[in-house]
Structure 1
Amino acid sequence: MNETMVCAVGNVATQPVYRELSAGPSARFRLAVTSRYWDREKNTWADGHTNFFTVWANRQLAVNVAASLNVGEAVIVQGRLKVRAEAREGQNWTSADIDAVAIGHDLARGTSAFRRAARPEPTAAAGAPAQPEPDWQTPAGQSPAEPEPPRRREPAAVT
């Protein structure tokens, strides 16, 4: 499917809002992305226009967003861009949303401590019998086959 994938670098503008929905966990927050440019007259960097995006995260990404992000933190968001235009109460309204695939702290602007999230227990498909985990250990009293030692190669004779 042809979708517009974007990578936006900016700051968390609102505290993430977490919801448990019938389809699973969902979280959203606003992302502020400000362009920077070199001002030759002042000989310094200056802020340009700021774009705001609503970032949507689902399932485990939503859980991790709620536990990890706070207002003002620098983040990188990758996901599908969705631009909608509507007429509300006589006014035209446009929104730019990012359906996030990945979100992380921007390590060019700070440090972060990664902690792996606990995986939820897998649920068996409805009506399917649970498959036992195979026993990967070598049975007692047997030794695993040892690989042959590497053979020494004699140097080629030079004539």
Structure 2
Amino acid sequence: MSLPIMTGTGRLTADPELRFSPSGVAVATMNLAFNARKFDRDRNEWVDGDVFFIRGTLFKQEAENVAESLTKGCEIVVTGRLKTEQWTDRNTGDKRSATSLLIDSIGPSLKYATAKPQKAARASNSAPAADDPWGAANAPQQTEEPPF
């Protein structure tokens, strides 16, 4: 059995928070909001419907990239796995739970914005792999000939 998958377009309600685990792994958490906004023709205005809030989590290099790239208010497209987190409240001893999103992929929505992706620096100093589409090994060769 696997966790349910969610894909949607939403907004960041705050800047992503970047932290590092005791072993040095980057962890980014972010609050996401998804809503059913509709244009009401009778009132000639946009009306917000129900809103679904969820906390998303990313790890490693992607966590660092998101913390550097996205900010509060960004419209994003995200895919991830829904998970139930459980804990005991320190003050009352009550058991608590909340649904969270383990993010597999996230990026800015280009519906109302533009973005210029830039290859992030590698953690190691090794040469780019031949199958890396962003790597220098796959960069177009500069020639005088047209590309067609």
Fold match by TM threshold 0.5 = yes
Please give the TM-score of this superposition, normalised by the length of structure 2: 0.71
- Which runs of structure 2 are paired with 1:6-155 in the superposition (5 Å)? 6-21=6-21, 22=23, 24-39=25-40, 41-84=42-85, 88=89, 89=92, 93-121=96-124
Give the whole-Å Cα distance in 2 for the aligned partners of 1:39 and 1:122: 55
Q: 2:79 is matched by which residue type in structure 1?
A: Q
Distance across 1 between alignment mates of 2:87 and 2:34 = 23
SS in 2 for 1:52: strand
- Output the TM-score relative to the length of structure 1: 0.67
Counterpart-to-counterpart distance in 2, 1:99 and 1:122? 29
Deviation at 1:23, TM superposition (A): 5.6
3-state DSSP of counterpart to 2:48: strand
Name the amino acid aligned to 1:108.
Answer: K
**Percent same amino acid at aligned positions?**
30
* Deviation (angstroms), 1:54: 0.6
SS in 2 for 1:48: coil
TM-fit CA distance, 1:93: 4.8
1:103 Cα deviation from its structure 2 partner = 0.7
Change (3 A) 1:49 1:87: farther
* Matched residue type, 2:74: E
Larger mean CA deviation between 100-109 and 30-39 belongs to 30-39
Q: Which moved more, 1:5-14 or 1:33-42?
A: 33-42
Unmatched segments (≥5 aa) in structure 1: 124-159
Q: State the one-letter code of the partner of 2:29.
A: R
What is the aligned residue count? 123
SS of 1:7's partner is: strand
Q: Secondary structure at the match of 2:124?
A: coil
C-alpha separation in 1, matches of 2:97 and 2:41: 34
List runs of 5+ in structure 2 lacking aligned partners.
127-148
* Residue identity matched to 1:30: N
CA RMSD of aligned residues (A): 2.4
Identify the range of structure 1 (99-108 vs 8-17) with the bigger mean alpha-carbon deviation. 8-17
Letter in structure 1 aligned against 2:82: L
Structure-2 change in CA distance of 1:61 and 1:43 (3 Å): same
Find the structure with the greater CA-based Rg: 1
